[in-house]
């Protein structure tokens, strides 16, 4: 059992016992989290439940914490996990894991290998992550590109957590943007897009008296296949589904949606347009579904698409990763999915903008296109490992300043270099010891691992399943990049203080086992991040 889950169980039981004994009144136990203390002096885990109870029951939190501490220490398994629990003002209960527990964790890694960190919290439920979904009207920009690594890693983590996961790209190949693309390719007065790719498409597709919309459709297909898909492949992203918006219109799905909402009395006419009563479902205003000229809005297509997701593909949950500029579209789609009977199944994550920095100054334009910086621009200057890592370092709601100078640096200042160097160093140690392809399933002489840096390294290894669990619940993908940095740091400190290939054969074997366990967890983490683990640097 994971240590955090065990802490929750024994504290819940302790509260029930204290209620039964009359020390605590009859109340519903408050929700509490198992936290990491700020410093090593405070142990490995901490809970604040005594303070919450103290407020409710008007009892000194220290007294409550002491009583809980007494009860949990009576559990038969307690000392298999911990050396001790201690009460700290103003009412925290802090836990210090035992060496025996840490040794067990290290051995579990060697037994489970790539399966270490696999969880069952998803219970094989179906979940889809839709991300990027940039219009096929031009090259992928850095702003849209940020959603690539984020959505990709989030889906990877869901799979690790026990969900049946799919990745999707929604191709907006219908409507005004396709028409604008057609005009741009024809270079007429309604042209909107420009650049080398438009010049190339003009030479390939433009003919006298061409229909702008048909030209736009052809151009969108070419852009999708020869530009967007190739860029996304370079980003180490592989989708399970590329879904065409145009297919919804061809199959009459938009008409079906309007008919369904009409039957539910959720559509009315105003100024010649058909309006969806989105305000009945928490939106601040109603939304147009069909314009006065009969053409559908984006919302109509989005609702139809989500009906397909939930009713044909049977997803239990869908997560859309959008750019922050789509903030205004969120309430309408949430209202629409609720209206068709799928309340609470859709979540939308908004990613803030990206600014590329050089010499501490923002770079705004692509030299080649004269437009926003493209992912291809970035990938011409940097390896994809670096791009992915830098994109994943900040939370979704934080503006990202992409430091090109740091990204190019080959030193410990560059976080990607720092992490990959740890893996290369590990690989070198194991190679020199003849353990490159070992199937070792336990650490020999594990009882010799008692040095502070050895135990600190195992503590970091122990946190890996917890990181997976936390991301699966709160979608904070940047936790994983911080984790690999912490794990690499713990390894480097261990390496500097604990020589591995020592003359003492027993100690050497124990430390080699720990190095092997570290390699496994670091590789598992980098695989989730979609970042390579180099054997040599």
Map out the domains of the chain with their CATH numbers. Answer: 3-97 (3.30.1360.70), 112-117+414-529 (1.10.730.10), 126-351 (3.40.50.620)
- Percentages helix, strand, coil for the chain, rounded to the nearest 5? 55, 15, 30
Do the Cβ atoms of 433 and 505 come closer than 8 Å? no
Kindly report, residue by residue over 159-201, the tens digit of the pLDDT: 999 999 999 999 999 999 999 999 999 999 999 999 899 999 9
Do the Cβ atoms of 235 and 375 come closer than 8 Å? yes
Q: What is the pLDDT of residue 239?
A: 98
Q: What is the pLDDT of residue 366?
A: 61
| Closest C-alpha to 29, from 10, 15, 18 | 15
Q: What is the pLDDT of residue 482?
A: 98
Q: Give the number of other Cβ atoms within 10 Å of residue 308's Cβ.
A: 16
Q: What is the pLDDT of residue 369?
A: 59
Q: What is the pLDDT of residue 1?
A: 79
Q: What is the pLDDT of residue 504?
A: 97
Q: Which parts of the chain sit beneath pLDDT 70?
A: 365-371
Q: What is the pLDDT of residue 370?
A: 60
Q: What is the pLDDT of residue 368?
A: 57
| Closest C-alpha to 157, from 531, 533, 525, 532 | 525
- Is 330 exposed, middle or buried, given 0-12, 13-18 or 19+ CB atoms closer than 10 A? middle
Q: How far is CA 127 from CA 79, 306, 504, in A?
A: 39, 13, 51
Q: Give the number of other Cβ atoms within 10 Å of residue 170's Cβ.
A: 20
Kindly report, residue by residue over 358-395, the tens digit of the pLDDT: 999 998 766 555 668 999 999 999 999 999 999 999 99
Q: What is the pLDDT of residue 31?
A: 87
Q: What is the pLDDT of residue 476?
A: 98
Q: What is the pLDDT of residue 106?
A: 98
- Cα 167–chain centre separation: 12
Task: Take residue 450 and report the two structure tokens written for it.
Answer: 């008692």
Q: What is the pLDDT of residue 470?
A: 97
């Amino acid at each position: 059992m994971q240590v955090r889950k065990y802490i929750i169980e024994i504290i819940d039981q302790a509260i029930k016992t204290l209620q039964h004994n009359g020390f605590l009144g009859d109340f519903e136990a408050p929700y509490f989290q198992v936290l990491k203390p700020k410093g090593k002096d405070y142990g490995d885990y901490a809970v604040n439940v005594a303070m919450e109870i103290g407020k409710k029951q008007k009892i000194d939190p220290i007294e409550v914490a002491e009583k809980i501490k007494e009860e949990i220490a009576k559990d038969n398994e307690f000392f298999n996990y911990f050396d001790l629990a201690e009460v700290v003002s103003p009412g925290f209960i802090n836990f210090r894991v035992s060496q025996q527990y840490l040794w067990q964790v290290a051995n579990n890694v060697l037994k489970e290998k790539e399966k270490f960190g696999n969880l069952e919290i998803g219970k094989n439920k179906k979940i889809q992550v839709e991300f990027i979904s940039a219009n096929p009207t031009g090259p992928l920009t850095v702003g849209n590109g940020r959603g690539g690594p984020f959505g990709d890693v989030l889906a990877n983590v869901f799979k690790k957590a026990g969900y049946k996961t799919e990745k999707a790209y929604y191709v907006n190949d219908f409507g005004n943007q396709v028409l604008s693309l057609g005009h741009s390719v024809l270079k007429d007065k309604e042209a909107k897009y420009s650049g080398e790719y438009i010049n190339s498409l003009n030479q390939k597709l433009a003919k006298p008296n061409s229909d702008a919309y048909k030209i736009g459709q052809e151009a969108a297909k070419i852009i999708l296949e020869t530009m967007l898909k190739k860029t996304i492949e370079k980003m180490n992203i592989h989708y399970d589904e590329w879904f065409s918006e145009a297919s919804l219109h061809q199959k009459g799905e938009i008409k079906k949606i309007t008919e369904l909402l009409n039957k539910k009395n959720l559509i009315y006419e105003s100024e010649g347009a058909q309006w969806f009563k989105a305000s009945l479902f928490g939106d601040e205003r109603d939304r147009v579904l069909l314009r006065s000229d009969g053409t559908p809005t984006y919302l109509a297509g989005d609702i139809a698409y989500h009906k397909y997701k939930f009713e044909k593909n049977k997803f239990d949950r869908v997560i859309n990763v959008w750019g922050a500029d789509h903030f205004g579209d969120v309430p309408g789609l949430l209202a629409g999915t609720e209206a068709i009977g799928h309340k609470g199944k859709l979540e939308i994550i908004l990613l803030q903008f990206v600014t590329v920095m050089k010499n501490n100054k923002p770079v705004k334009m692509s030299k080649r296109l004269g437009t926003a910086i493209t992912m291809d621009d970035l990938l011409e200057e940097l390896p994809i490992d670096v791009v992915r890592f830098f994109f994943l370092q900040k939370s979704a709601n934080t503006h990202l300043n992409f430091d090109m100078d740091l990204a190019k640096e080959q030193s410990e200042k560059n976080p990607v270099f720092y992490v990959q160097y740890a893996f290369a160093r590990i690989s070198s140690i194991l190679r020199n010891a003849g353990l490159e392809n070992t199937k070792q399933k336990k650490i020999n002489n594990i009882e010799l691992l008692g040095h502070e840096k050895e135990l600190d390294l195992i503590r970091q290894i122990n946190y890996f399943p917890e990181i997976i669990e936390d991301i699966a619940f709160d979608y904070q993908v940047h936790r994983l990049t911080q984790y690999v940095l912490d794990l690499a740091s713990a390894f480097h400190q261990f390496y500097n203080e604990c020589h591995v290939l020592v003359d003492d054969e027993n100690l050497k074997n124990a430390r080699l086992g720990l190095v092997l366990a570290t390699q496994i967890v670091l590789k598992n983490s980098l695989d989730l991040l979609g970042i390579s683990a180099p054997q040599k640097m």
